[in-house]
């Protein structure tokens, strides 16, 4: 019988295991609540994006649960303007997108939670992560967690989260590409790079949620990009709460990331709201991308 998440975490540092288990139970509560948390809130986040009722509720719920756990010192959330102090004696510092892709709620497309786990104080470089995880609300609730060189995926069942695969490696060669932003805003050299991918027969898959689009790349290989745009040189995705975490997961699965100039995980953050051009996928495709953008 497939291992439960709890059993699988026996090989992980016990405090980290407790935190991942805590977040897995939080994820199930959020899933149960989503049908009742729809529509727009009357507020905007620090990025000027209209917050949805679900965004704010999920953010507050996770924040409160982490505070009560006593395990977390500080939290950087996409939905909060400043670093949130939780427990002075907490071991971990967390980056959080509490409901990534929430604009997909209306159309019932995939949404999820993106969590970076650090011991170093935030803001820290992505390479300083001790673990990363994401929960994806799709046809099932799946949970992926990554520690150095080991990415494991679990599916929520009547027995709780049960192992689907461990030591996951991004398939080579990758078959998909997914790109955000308006095509007319892409840099010419990036447009040419995408045309080459299409000539090689790579298929377009773009669902409008970073967590869902990155999970496709983890499973089928390829490249995801929210690129540098003519009007937005840093693209759209947030370094701390989105791009670093997925770059870490894909790196542990044998892939790579880039800002167009170098690994996302090496970026020295200047602010908690910093955006970064985001390219994540197979190593070979990232190398070709950096050459194309030179
Ligand atoms: P667009 C969701 O708001 C998000 O931050 C990511 O999850 C997703 O990749 C991107 O924005 C989608 O942006 O411009 O395609 O709506």
Where helices occur in 34-112 by DSSP H, the ranges are 53-69
pLDDT digits (tens, 9 = 90+) for 49-94: 999 999 999 999 999 999 999 999 999 999 999 999 999 999 999 9
CA contacts within 13 A on the Cβ side of 291: 8
Alpha carbon distance 73, 158 (integer Å)? 33
Q: Which atom of ligand 1 is nearest to the CA of 100?
A: 7
CA contacts within 13 A on the Cβ side of 113: 34
Q: Is 180 in the pocket of ligand 1 (CB under 6 A)?
A: yes
Nearest partner of 170 among 189, 194, 153, judged by Cα: 153
Q: Hey, which of 181, 210, 239 would you mutate to test ligand 1's pocket, going by the most ligand atoms within 8 Å of its Cβ? A: 210
Task: Give 120: exposed, middle or buried? Use CB within 10 Å, 0-12, 13-18, 19+.
Answer: exposed
pTM score, whole prediction: 0.97
Q: Is 116 in the pocket of ligand 1 (CB under 6 A)?
A: no
Q: What is the mean pLDDT of residues 166-173?
A: 97
Nearest partner of 146 among 15, 245, 265, 240, judged by Cα: 245
Percentage of the chain beyond pLDDT 90 is: 97
Query: pLDDT band at residue 213, thresholds of 50, 70 and 90?
Result: very high
Over 90: is that where the pLDDT of 1 sits? Answer: no
Q: Quick one: how far is CA 291 from the chain centroid?
A: 25
**Residue 273 CB neighbours (<10 A):** 18
| Domains of the chain and CATH, by start | 5-165 (3.30.540.10), 176-293 (3.40.190.80)
Determine the distance separating the centroid of ligand 1 and the alpha carbon of 284, expressed in angstroms.
Answer: 25
């Amino acid at each position: 019988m497939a291992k439960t998440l709890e059993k699988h975490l026996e090989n992980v540092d016990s405090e980290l295991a407790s935190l991942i288990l805590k977040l897995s139970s939080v994820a199930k509560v959020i899933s149960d609540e989503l049908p009742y948390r729809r529509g727009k809130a009357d507020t905007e986040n620090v990025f000027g994006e209209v917050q949805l009722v679900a965004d704010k509720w999920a953010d507050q719920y996770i924040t409160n649960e982490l505070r009560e756990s006593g395990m977390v010192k500080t939290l950087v959330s996409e939905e909060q303007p400043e670093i949130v102090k939780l427990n002075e004696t907490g071991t971990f510092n967390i980056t959080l997108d509490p409901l990534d892709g929430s604009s997909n709620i209306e159309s019932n497309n995939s949404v999820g939670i993106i969590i970076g786990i650090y011991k170093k104080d935030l803001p820290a470089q992505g390479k300083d992560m001790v673990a990363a995880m994401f929960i994806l609300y799709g046809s099932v609730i799946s949970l992926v967690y990554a520690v150095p060189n080991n990415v494991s995926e679990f599916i929520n069942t009547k027995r709780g989260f049960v192992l689907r695969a461990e030591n996951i490696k991004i398939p080579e060669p990758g078959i998909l590409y997914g790109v955000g932003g308006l095509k007319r805003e892409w840099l010419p050299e990036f447009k040419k790079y995408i045309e080459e991918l299409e000539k090689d027969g790579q298929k377009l898959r773009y669902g409008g949620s970073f967590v869902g689009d990155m999970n496709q790349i983890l499973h089928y290989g390829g490249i995801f990009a929210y690129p540098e745009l003519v009007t937005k040189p840093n693209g759209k995705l947030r370094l701390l709460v989105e791009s670093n975490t997925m770059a870490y997961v894909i790196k542990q699965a044998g892939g790579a990331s880039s800002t167009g100039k170098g690994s996302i995980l090496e970026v020295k953050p200047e602010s908690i709201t910093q955006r970064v051009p985001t390219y994540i996928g197979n190593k070979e495709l990232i190398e070709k991308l950096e050459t194309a953008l030179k």
